[in-house]
Amino acid sequence: MTRTLGRPQPAERRRGTRCCEGVAPRGALDEALERAAADFDVLAHPVRLRLLEILARRGGEVCVCDLEHALPVKQPTISHHLRLLRQAGLVDTARKGLFAYYYVEPAALAALRARVGQALEALAAAPGGGSER
């Protein structure tokens, strides 16, 4: 069975009428979904997820050289992913001599969790968003 989402079938629709009424931008919801997409983009790589997990579990500062032993990638790749996490505000760094030590920003991680949860709730609340097919 095909769902039509309330749009007229081709035989019913007149020339020049829009097929998808009610699909206009929704302001604040669109902004929240854009932010959620950026959040998902940051989380969309297994190395970044693993880095967050390691840093959160350790609960303190971890040197990049120690992270290299925990992951199947080389230090430049780890530094690249840490830079992306830092740009997203999820981790920060402390310099000690020649070494950079990374740690999770707990407030940023909590805010990320809340935003992602709200975005998923908004999608589920949309007509057909939480229904079974």
Domain range for residue 58?
Answer: 48-124
The DSSP secondary-structure symbol of 61 reads: -
**In the chain, where do the E strands start and end?**
62-63, 91-96, 99-104
Question: Mean of the pLDDT values across residues 11-25?
Answer: 65
Residue 124, SS3 per DSSP: helix
CB 32 within 8 A of CB 115: yes
Does residue 130 lie within any of the structural domains?
no
Does residue 2 lie within any of the structural domains?
no
Q: Which residues sit opposite 92 in a β-bridge? A: 103
Reported as a single tens digit per residue, the pLDDT across 65-117 is 899 999 999 999 999 999 999 999 999 999 999 999 999 999 999 999 998 88
Does residue 22 lie within any of the structural domains?
no
Does residue 80 lie within any of the structural domains?
yes
Q: What is the CATH number of the domain that holds 87?
A: 1.10.10.10
The values of phi and psi at residue 99, to 5°, are -105, 145
Instruction: Report the number of distinct structural domains present in the chain.
Output: 1
pTM: 0.73
DSSP-derived pairing of the beta strands 62-63 and 91-96: unpaired
